[in-house]
Amino acid sequence: MIGLIVLALLGAAAAAPTDDRIVGGYECSKHGQPWQVSINIGYHYCGGSLINDQWIISAAHCWQNPYTQIAVLGDHHIWVNEGTEQYMSVDAIYWHESYDYKTLDFDIMLMKLSHKATLNQYVKPVALPTACPTAGDMCTVSGWGNIYSDEVFNPFNLQCVRVPIMSDKDCEGSYPGKITDRMVCAGYLEGGKDACQGDSGGPLVCNEVLHGIVSWGQGCALPNYPGVYTKVCSLMPWINDTLTRYS
């Protein structure tokens, strides 16, 4: 296969070969992605997105014991306390009952914070979709994951990269037989721009709406292997049901 378990353990989705950011990206404008969350277990290991004042959405393959986790909101430079951060303990985690760690189908979880976040210019939830994205829509992926495709370097400042939603045909063509209705590809067939290890669970945001969760991919930003994201629109019934049941 393509080392899905390794990808899952590292926190996976893809990066850029010739450029030196998230892979192929740039430093995000400071607090320009106010929904971005760093999930921390003594160090940053996955991303997430704030969807209301007490809930975070991330990838199921980022699961850890909730009592070992701290969710950091309002961060930019991950090693410097800038006075904008909110450090939140996690009360409970709910992952999709159909999640398959081998195929990464239904790769989604919701994390309930132990208390409500303070919403301000640095910490704001992202909107959830009311419809699915269209091929060609331009989106922003953000995270503190690896910024190289062929070596490891994790940046201090939050990185962003702009990538388009790919057609179902191109997505399936890159990963024959591995793409389900809960997945969407974003990136370029020529490679060069992608998310990577450490970006897992983080947001793919198109027109201010969360359409994807960084999930998996072969390598980072490699030609013909775009990043694969959990397709949020396809899981809205589960999201709404979980929020209603446990809020």
List the structure tokens of 184.
């969407």
The dihedral through the CA atoms of 177, 181, 182, 184 has a sign that is positive
Active site residue 107: yes
With vertex at residue 227, the alpha carbon angle to CA 136 and CA 238, rounded to the nearest 5 degrees, is 85
Neighbours of 100 (CB within 10 A): 14
List the structure tokens of 5.
């378990």
Is the Cβ–Cβ distance between 213 and 58 less than 8 Å?
yes
Is the Cβ–Cβ distance between 196 and 23 less than 8 Å?
yes
Q: How far apart are the C-alpha atoms of 56 and 53, rounded to whole Å?
A: 9
List the structure tokens of 178.
């591995």
Choose, from 31, 61, 76, 211, the residue flagged as catalytic. Answer: 61
3-state class (DSSP) for residue 244: helix
Choose, from 75, 105, 107, 199, the residue flagged as catalytic. Answer: 107
Choose, from 38, 49, 58, 200, the residue flagged as catalytic. Answer: 200
Residue positions annotated with a catalytic role: 61, 107, 200
